[in-house]
C-alpha cells in the first residue's frame, strides 16, 4: 500500500511515515501544497494523509483539484481544526475520513487500512488464495494455517498482488508500490524477489505473462510461460 503523507511539520510527518512503514506500507512525504497536487496527479497512490494548513497551497484546494482531475484514491485529512464546519468543508471537498490532532499513530494506520479495503470493494479483512491468506487488518500472511516469513519488500509485493488478485499487474505497477519514487530498482530485482516469494509459497500462485507482468491466482493460468 503506497501512501502520500502531505504534512509540513517535519517531525510529525516522519513519525507518521515510520508508523506506516512499520505496518508494511510504503510512505512518501511531501511538505508543500503545490507539490502535493502535482504528485497526486502524476503518481499512483493507494491513499493520502493530508494536512489542511500547508505552504504553497492549502489542503482543501489540493484535495478539490485532485478530485477535479479524476484522482479518487482515499484521502484521510489530519488537522488541528476541530469545528464541524471545518470537517464539513473537508468532506465536501472530497475527503474520505477526518482525524483531528492530537491523535495516535496506530489510529492513522487502522483508518488507512479501512479506507483502502473500502476503495477495493473488500467486505472482509482476510483475503485468501488457496492455502495463502492475508489478514489486511493485522497485516499478516499465513500459509496452510501457519505464519509465512517474508522480508519487508517481499511482503509489500505479495500484499499488492493479493489485493489485485486475478488481475494482470505490470512490473512498473509493482515497482511503484514497493519502492519510493526517487529509487529506480535494477531490472532484475523484481524477478529475484518474485522468485524468492514463489519458493517460500511452494505452490503455483504467482503466474508470469512474458512481457506483460504477473498475475496472482489459485487457478492455473493457461498463458503461464514457466518463468
- What does the domain layout of the chain look like in residue ranges? 2-119, 126-216
pLDDT at 189: 82
- Write out the H or E segment, with its range, that includes residue 5: strand 2-6
pLDDT at position 226 is: 44
The whole-model pTM stands at: 0.68
The percentage of residues in the chain with a pLDDT greater than 70, rounded to a whole number, is 91
pLDDT at residue 227 in the model: 42
Q: Does 2-119 carry CATH code 3.40.50.2000?
A: no
pLDDT digits (tens, 9 = 90+) for 88-138: 888 999 999 999 888 888 899 989 988 888 887 665 578 889 899 998 777
- Digit-coded pLDDT (tens) for 70-89: 898 999 998 887 787 888 88
Q: What is the C-alpha separation between 194 and 187, in angstroms, rounded?
A: 12
Contact 126, 133 (CB under 8 A): yes
Helical ranges in 43-170 per DSSP H: 59-68, 84-93, 105-119, 152-163
Domain 126-216: CATH architecture, name and number where available: Orthogonal Bundle (1.10)
Look at residue 221 in the predicted model and tell me its pLDDT: 53
Q: Are the CB atoms for 186 and 110 separated by under 8 Å?
A: no
Give me the mean pLDDT over the 146-165 stretch.
Answer: 90
Mean pLDDT of the chain: 86
Find the mean pLDDT for residues 31-44. Answer: 94
Q: Is-contact 63 54, C-beta < 8 A?
A: no
Amino acid at each position: 500500500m503506497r501512501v502520500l503523507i502531505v504534512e509540513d511539520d517535519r517531525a510529525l510527518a516522519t513519525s507518521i511515515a515510520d508508523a506506516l512503514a512499520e505496518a508494511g506500507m510504503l510512505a512518501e512525504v511531501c511538505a508543500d501544497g503545490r507539490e502535493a497536487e502535482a504528485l497526486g496527479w502524476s503518481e499512483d497512490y493507494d491513499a493520502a494523509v493530508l494536512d489542511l494548513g500547508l505552504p504553497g497551497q492549502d489542503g482543501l484546494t489540493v484535495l478539490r483539484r485532485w478530485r477535479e482531475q479524476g484522482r479518487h484514491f482515499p484521502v484521510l485529512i489530519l488537522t488541528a481544526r476541530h469545528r464541524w464546519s471545518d470537517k464539513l468543508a473537508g468532506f465536501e471537498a472530497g475527503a474520505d475520513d477526518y482525524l483531528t490532532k492530537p491523535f495516535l499513530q496506530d489510529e492513522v494506520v487502522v483508518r488507512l487500512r479501512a479506507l483502502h479495503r473500502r476503495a477495493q470493494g473488500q467486505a472482509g479483512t482476510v483475503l485468501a488464495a488457496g492455502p495463502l491468506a492475508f489478514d489486511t487488518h493485522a497485516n499478516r500472511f499465513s500459509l496452510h494455517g501457519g505464519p509465512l516469513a517474508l522480508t519487508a519488500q517481499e511482503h509489500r509485493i505479495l500484499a499488492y498482488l493479493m489485493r489485485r488478485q486475478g488481475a494482470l499487474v505490470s512490473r512498473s505497477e509493482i515497482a511503484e508500490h514497493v519502492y519510493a519514487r526517487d529509487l529506480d530498482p535494477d531490472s532484475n530485482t523484481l524477478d529475484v524477489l518474485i522468485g524468492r516469494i514463489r519458493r517460500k509459497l511452494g505452490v503455483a500462485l504467482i503466474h508470469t505473462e512474458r512481457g506483460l507482468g504477473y498475475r496472482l491466482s489459485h487457478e492455473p493460468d493457461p498463458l503461464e510461460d514457466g518463468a
